[in-house]
Amino acid sequence: MTSAEAIKYIHSINWTFTKPGLERIGELCERLGNPQNELRFIHVAGTNGKGSFCSMLDCVLRAAGYKTGLFTSPYITEFNERIRFCGENIDGDELAAITEYVKPFADAMTDKPTEFELITAIGLEYFKRKGCDVVVLEAGMGGRLDSTNVIPTSLLSVITGISLEHTAYLGDTVEKIAAEKAGIIKKNGTVLFGGADGACARVIAARAKEMGADFAVIDKSTLDVVRSDLFGSVFNYRGRKELAISLSGLYQPQNAANVIAAVDALNEKGFSISEDALRRGLLSARWQARFEVISRTPLVIFDGAHNPEGIEKAVESVKYYFGTQRVLILTGVMKDKNYRYIAERLSEIAAAALTITPDNPRALDANEYARVLTDVGVDATAYASVADAVSAGKALATEKDIPLVCLGSLYMYGEIKESI
């Protein structure tokens, strides 16, 4: 089996009508000898901020000398990004070999595993073979029934924050979604909540109490952003001065604060993460598609904000960095998102908008999205392709001497960056 054949096999699984649950991933891992039982995990759930948190924490742990595994989703430019060891994507040959090993076990199951369950099993087997000291494991959707929740224990359960998303699967209130995310809490474990919603905190605290787990809300009251620009931020937190990150976006110091709280909790559990390793790790972290500058002339920024909370934070960052100057917006969304609310928020910063249809069956048609934006007062034009929209956007940004900000589905990122 080649790497391409492995990815084709993984993507061939149709999960749409599969009942959620841990039975399939549990059976598959059992057939594989339960690789998850030989590893230590930091399990991360939440609506937004998971990827940035995981990337920063992985970098800090590596700076402290730990052999790390990193499991994230979705991938941004290539599939192998989802499974990393010590900062490097899984090698194509290793992906092929492990997929070939897992395939007969999966194919022998009566109730076949889903695509994400396959990827989870492949990742766990890979991390076991690599002898990881610790794995930073990002949940896919939800938590309670997410396939990553097959792990029996965790060093930390981290819930970065809660807002409305995937309501058809997780519930139509933040409290219901919090209950699903809180499903990652392990018996007698430790859980950190990085969100600000009191109702969610109460739901998570109640679940922690049921599980006999220690619970803490990460206090951001001492977080002081000294300065922030398009190439990073400097901030003070928990008595530490002049901490620096290279990730842009006004929301990234919030994610970094969650990382610092996690590092302090890990040190209390016997880890040895020095202040120097913390600072070096935070500064070295990179994460694509989060308020990322992908061109300087003209200035083009991409942010994968695709739900109301993400859009709110992106709009806040645009206002902070560019003041009253309006920007061009290139955008595409999924039709199952609250795109009318998203359009309303974009109207606060948009000089004009260019809409596209992301490459996904769930995508909202570009023409329909343009009509919605027009309804809220934005001059919007639909484009048939990403390349056409990018070409027009760059030309208009150059002519008007204003930034082009690409916001919306992560499924746009690869094509937009290639076109840039």
- Rounded CA-CA distance 179/205 in Å is 10
Task: Phi first, then psi: give them for residue 290, nearest 5 degrees.
Answer: -120, 95
Whether 135 and 19 share a structural domain: yes
Mean pLDDT of 343-350: 97
Residues 272 and 405 in one domain: no
Count of C-beta atoms within a 10 Å radius of residue 146 = 25
Beta-sheet pairing, 299-303 with 404-408: parallel
Locate the DSSP E strands across 182-337.
190-193, 214-217, 224-229, 232-237, 240-245, 292-296, 299-303, 327-332
Residue 126 has pLDDT above 60, yes or no: yes
Q: Which residue type, as a one-letter code, is found at position 19?
A: K
Can you point out the beta strands (E) in 240-303? 240-245, 292-296, 299-303
Q: Please check the confidence at residue 37 and state whether its pLDDT lies above 90.
A: yes
| CATH number (domain holding residue 116) | 3.40.1190.10
| Predicted local confidence at residue 232, as pLDDT | 97
The residue-averaged pLDDT of 263-285 equals 98
Name the DSSP class of 79.
Answer: G
Residues 17 and 50 in one domain: yes
Confidence of residue 168 (pLDDT cuts 50, 70, 90): low
**65 and 148 part of one domain:** yes
Task: Tell me, yes or no, whether 164 and 44 share the same domain.
Answer: yes
Higher pLDDT, 63 or 361: 63
Please compute the mean of the pLDDT values over residues 184-192 and round it to a whole number.
98
Residue 348: domain span: 292-419
Residue 294 to residue 298: CA distance in whole angstroms: 10
pLDDT band at 167 (very low <50, low <70, confident <90, very high): very low
Closest of 17, 124, 4, 25 to residue 69, by C-alpha: 124
User: Which of 305, 381, 384, 385 shows the shortest CA–CA distance to 346?
Assistant: 305
Mean pLDDT, range 392-407, rounded to an integer: 97
In this predicted structure, which of 18-27, 52-61, 100-109 has the lowest mean pLDDT? 18-27
Structure confidence at residue 360 (pLDDT):
85
Q: Is the peptide bond before 74 cis (omega within 30 degrees of 0)?
A: yes
**234 and 198 within one domain:** yes
Say whether pLDDT at 43 is over 90: yes
Which pLDDT score is estimated for 185? 98
Identify the CA nearest to 213 among candidates 56, 57, 43: 43
65 burial (CB, 10 Å; 0-12 / 13-18 / 19+) is exposed
CATH of the domain at 393: 3.90.190.20
Same domain, 174 and 62: yes
Which of 28-42, 101-115, 155-169, 349-363 is predicted with the least confidence, judged by mean pLDDT? 155-169
Q: What is the pLDDT of residue 16?
A: 56
**SS3 of residue 370 by DSSP:** helix
| Per-residue pLDDT, 142 | 84
CB 166 within 8 A of CB 139: no
Is residue 165 scored above 90 in pLDDT? no
Smallest CA-to-CA distance from 315 within 360, 359, 378 is with: 378
H helix and E strand count, the chain: 15, 17
Range name among 45-54, 151-160, 362-371, 406-415 with the lowest pLDDT average: 406-415
Instruction: Report residue 353 CA to chain centroid gap.
Output: 25
CA 259 → CA 238, 263, 265, distances in Å?
Answer: 12, 6, 10
Provide the number of structural domains found in the chain: 2
Q: Which of 284, 313, 334 is the last residue of a domain?
A: 284
Q: Maximum CA pair distance of the chain?
A: 61
pLDDT of residue 17: 57
Are the beta carbons of 118 and 73 closer than 8 angstroms?
no
pLDDT in tens, 234-258: 999 999 999 999 999 999 999 999 9
Q: What is the pTM of this model?
A: 0.94
**Comparing 411 with 274, which gets the higher pLDDT?**
274
Do residues 277 and 363 both lie within one domain? no
Write out pLDDT tens, residues 193-236: 999 999 999 999 999 999 999 999 999 999 999 999 999 999 99
Look over the chain and give the mean of its residue pLDDT values, rounded to a whole number.
95
